[in-house]
Amino acid sequence: MERQPAQTSDREVGDTVEARLLHRPLQHADLPAVADVRRLLRESLTHWGVPALADTAVLLTTELVTNALRHTDRGAVLTATLSTVSIMSAVSTVATPPVPRLRVEVRDFTTRHPRLRAPSTHGTSGRGLQLVQSLADAWGVRAEGDGSGKVVWFELDAAPS
């Protein structure tokens, strides 16, 4: 199978980086590409200055990419974006200092949504979305407006130092 190259970019506004992007198309059933995705994401997060997000981001991305490649009949597209956001406190109207937020999206070409399952004690699969639900700051599934598929996504916030 022919591997698609990853694209990375930094969008800058003056001296401030607004968003950083990793974009990687994946071929159907190319499970060896999952290792490439892990490496690219870890390298990107280190380059972007948030290596502390790498372990969790790589684990959750592996789950989403593997699900897309195993359970759909076409490829998928990985997009990871690091942006900076201000988070408002529920008890205060004062925003905290900006926090880096990673959003990872895996787009596939089936409308069938994944569902959380309760795996059996001895089962060898079925835990991926439970990991995403447990470790991500936010996650979800969004149908593509044109009916051509869906995006499964998660977000991680970098801990303030």
pLDDT tens digits, 137-146: 999 999 998 8
Closest CA to 130 of 12, 32, 139: 139
Tens-place pLDDT, residues 145-155: 888 899 999 99
SS3 state at 105: strand
User: For residues 131 and 4, what is the distance between their CA atoms, to the nearest angstrom?
Assistant: 28
Whether the predicted pLDDT of 1 surpasses 50: no
Buried b (16+ CB within 10 A) or exposed e, 86-110: eeeeeeeeeeeeeebbbbbbbbbbe
Q: Is the pTM of this model over 0.75?
A: yes
The mean per-residue pLDDT over the stretch 18-44 comes to 91
Rg (CA), the chain: 16
**Percentage of the residues of the chain whose pLDDT score is greater than 70:** 75
Q: How confident is the model at residue 84 (pLDDT cuts 50, 70, 90)?
A: confident
